[in-house]
Amino acid sequence: MTINNIINRYKSVPNLTERSKIRYTSKMHSKKGLIFDSLEKLTDALTVYDNASRDRYQEILNSKFLKLEENTNDPNYMSKKNELVDTVKELEVRGLYSSDYISKLIDRINSSMIDNDSFKTTKLEYDSLKTIYCEASFKCSKLDDNYVLTIDNPKTIVSESELAVAHLNAERLTYTQNVECIMSTIDDHWYNINLKKSLSGLDFLTNEDFDEAAKYIKHNHINGHKVFKFDHEGQEYGLEITLKGNQHTRSTTRDNPYFEQRGDNFVGAAWFEKTSGFEGKSPEIIIKIGKYDENDQLVPLYKQDDTTNLHKARDYIKSKIQTEVQKKPKKSYKANHNGNTRIN
């Protein structure tokens, strides 16, 4: 049965007697923000970022020109070439080939950090400029005696992680160490997840805790998140439970998505609709482990002892989660997010 037939046939997820089970677990960490021991090193990093971004964009343009010249018989050859030439001219006007844009940004950062110990740009500001940094957001802050630079840009040419590793050899802040529980699907097309049963090894969580976690999952964490505290080797940590699965696909005959809560279970479609068709996707229970303050906000870590202890807390949680299906799936799906690294 094809996915299209399923969408046309089922108004909702059918009654599922079988439960999705944990096939295997993976470890991930979430890092964000470059840390420096002086403001000068932070602003120097922006210059490196500027140069690396402009070099990369020039490589992209050169590649497009070369590809175009290989197809001179294309009936749209001249219009495509003129479009590329116009793009280059426009970027030249907007400062692609000069460091004036970043140098002005550095001046603003220096001034703001002296007066306020913080600096942040807005997305609107970069949309109006329409440079190669469009949609970028730069944030600077103090952490103890250090300075933190965060570059947030989903369409960035040079990512923050690449800048740290390939160009600066800089350290990044650790926010969470995560355990991903990859779940089995039911009849290849659906999932039916019971948090209490799959995570029964987390014996410090009560039935009420699982009910609280379910409330936030049901509304896709629109109202925030719930942190559950636990102790490990004399230190307090917190964890969040989230569900990574299709919560949006709907049939052609109903307005609501397939995703819904049925008692203690969450059911939904185990696929995503793409422009080229449909892609199967195993659902995941994700457990985020981190240090939280009294307001349940994540505390970024950078000291070696702190990050090592967080790794141990993550491994402790992973050891308490039992794999319910011995055989790994033939196909696994990985999503690349800036700052997230999966460790199988």
Element (H, E) at 243: strand 235-244
Q: Are 174 and 21 in contact (CB under 8 A)?
A: no
Residue 1, burial from CB neighbour count under 10 angstroms (0-12, 13-18, 19+): exposed
- Which residue in the block uniquely carries the two structure tokens 């999952």? 217
State what percent of residues in the chain have pLDDT above 90.
Answer: 47
Q: Give 93-130 pLDDT, tens digit per residue.
A: 555 545 577 788 899 999 999 888 999 886 545 444 44
Q: What is the pTM of this model?
A: 0.79
With bands split at pLDDT 50, 70 and 90, how would you rate the model's confidence at 175? very high
Of 187 and 96, more confident: 187
The structural domains of the chain, with segments of one domain joined by +, span 3-31+175-343, 38-144
Check residue 340 and give its pLDDT.
54
Q: Which long-range contacts (CB under 8 A, 24 or more apart) does 98-101 make?
A: 99/47, 99/50, 99/51, 101/50, 101/129, 101/131, 101/133
Compute the average pLDDT of residues 309-313.
97
Q: Give 39-62 pLDDT, tens digit per residue.
A: 999 999 998 988 888 788 778 778
Residue 325, burial from CB neighbour count under 10 angstroms (0-12, 13-18, 19+): middle
**β partners of residue 191:** 268
Q: What DSSP state is assigned to residue 131?
A: S
Separation of alpha carbons 155 and 266, rounded Å? 33
Identity of the residue numbered 266: F
In 3D space, the residue among 94, 99, 91, 93 whose CA is nearest the CA of residue 64 turns out to be 91
Check residue 127 and give its pLDDT.
43
Of 272 and 331, more confident: 272
Does the structure show a pLDDT above 90 at 174? yes
Identity of the residue numbered 245: G
Check residue 343 and give its pLDDT.
46
Q: Give 198-230 pLDDT, tens digit per residue.
A: 999 999 999 999 999 999 998 876 667 899 999
Q: Give 139-168 pLDDT, tens digit per residue.
A: 999 999 999 999 887 566 778 888 888 888
